Amino acid sequence: MPTQAKLADEFGVERGAVRQALRILQSEHLLVNVSKGSPATVADHPDRSLTGPEAPPQPTTVALGARIAAAFAAPHVEIDALCLTSISLTLAIGEPLRQIHAGRIKPARVDVRLLLPSSDIDLAFPAPVDSSVDGRLQRSWLANRNAQAQVLRHNLLALRSTHGIDVNVIFRALPFTPPVKLYLLNGAEALFAYYTLAKREEEIDDVHLEMYDVQGTQSMLFPFVQGAGLRDTTFVEQSHLWFNALWETISSELLLTN
């Protein structure tokens, strides 16, 4: 690879943006020897492709962080997400926030739209195995949904006062339990995963409850990128149409209260 200085000059960006891009490629095992003192080297045998028809799905905890970090390298960051809670997104945004606070990247604008299940519905999941159990499981989910969303909103909006970044965060409520999760990044990338149900046990309010639930952080994300072929481009475009249709029709204001 060229030196960081040459890359910065070629693409007309600051050295910090180049370093961030190289670190992301290193985390994806596409580059090795990434350091300030010498040019990076392309890996001989990358163990996976980032995007396109050959890209394998990966657990959300593995795939989402790197893709969110890459999205934050753009001057205008746009993230649309549909999910059961915002746990995975809150975790994934942690790294680009650290990079911003360290002065390595600084987008001019960040727009985040999030669709979450309404607190006014009976969730399909998580659901107790014993249907006679009271509503403590739904109350626990609701408290978790609200807490995660509040943390996400607070961390993003803090960028206004600390770094002068134009940030907008909007939540809306869905009248159903989403069976899938979807992340749309900068209008050009879609990450899609199924929620897979399993029986598990958890202690809630000193009571052990058997439930049908999902582990969203382990859901396998399938990546699609506009321009990576007809399949990917069509999926990204249709995902945006689907998300916007839900946003503009049957969703409603979401209040982060129990």
Instruction: Tell me the pLDDT of the chain (258 aa) as tens digits.
Output: 788 888 777 767 777 777 777 776 665 556 766 765 667 776 654 434 455 556 788 999 889 999 999 999 999 999 999 999 999 999 999 999 999 999 999 999 999 999 999 999 999 999 999 888 878 888 999 999 999 999 999 999 999 999 999 999 999 999 999 999 999 999 999 999 999 999 999 888 888 889 999 988 889 999 999 988 899 999 999 999 999 999 999 999 998 876
| CA 175 and chain centroid, separation | 22
* Nearest by Cα to 182 from 247, 120, 228, 129: 247
Looking at residue 18, what is its pLDDT? Answer: 73
Q: Is 125 helix (H, G, I), strand (E, B) or coil?
A: coil
Looking at residue 56, what is its pLDDT? Answer: 80
User: How far is 256 from 258, CA to CA, in rounded Å?
Assistant: 7
Looking at residue 49, what is its pLDDT? Answer: 41
Residue 248: phi, psi to the nearest 5? Answer: -90, -10
Tokens describing residue 117: 């299940």
User: How far is 68 from 184, CA to CA, in rounded Å?
Assistant: 10
User: How far is 177 from 172, CA to CA, in rounded Å?
Assistant: 13
Tokens describing residue 37: 């003192």
Looking at residue 11, what is its pLDDT? Answer: 67
Looking at residue 207, what is its pLDDT? Answer: 84
**String of b and e for 113-126 (b: at least 16 CB within 10 Å)?**
bbbbbbbeeebebb
DSSP secondary structure string for all residues of 60-95: HHHHHHHHHHHHTTSSEEEEEEE-SSSHHHHHHHHH
